[in-house]
Amino acid sequence: MRNLLIILATFMSFGLVADGHKPSEKPSKDRFANHPNHLMDFKECKEMKDGIGGLLALSDSIWKEIEMNPENEEKWLEVSLVADLAANYSEVYDVFCKDMIAQRMKMRIMDDKKKHKHKKKEE
């Protein structure tokens, strides 16, 4: 019984000490911007998305040229390189941008709900 009380007192004292953390002085936006896993901001992600779309459009135009002349080996090589490049950029976009954009959309939806709820209260 005595051991149980000692263990309980030890854990309770840790709880009291853990409450003494200093609040963060930086806003969360600055903390995330300086985080080592945060590589791109929203603008860069949008530019990457537009670039991927451009690569896919280029790939489509090359495919149309291949349909006209299927024996042109240079076009086959070109389309495979462009498609591979688009796939690689798409993977980078999925890893670093998709969650950020999903979070941004979630925040917009929540903001719209708050506005709607506030508007209903006014009526």
The reply to whether 29 falls in a domain is yes
The reply to whether 19 falls in a domain is no
**90 is in which domain, residue-wise?**
25-122
The reply to whether 12 falls in a domain is no
Kindly report, residue by residue over 36-95, the tens digit of the pLDDT: 556 777 788 889 999 999 999 999 999 999 999 999 899 999 999 999 999 999 998 888
Long-range interactions of 96-102: CB distance < 8 A, separation 24+? 96/39, 96/40, 96/45, 97/40, 97/45, 97/48, 97/49, 100/42, 100/45, 101/42, 101/45
The reply to whether 69 falls in a domain is yes
* Predicted TM-score of the model (pTM): 0.56
| Domain total in the chain | 1
The reply to whether 42 falls in a domain is yes
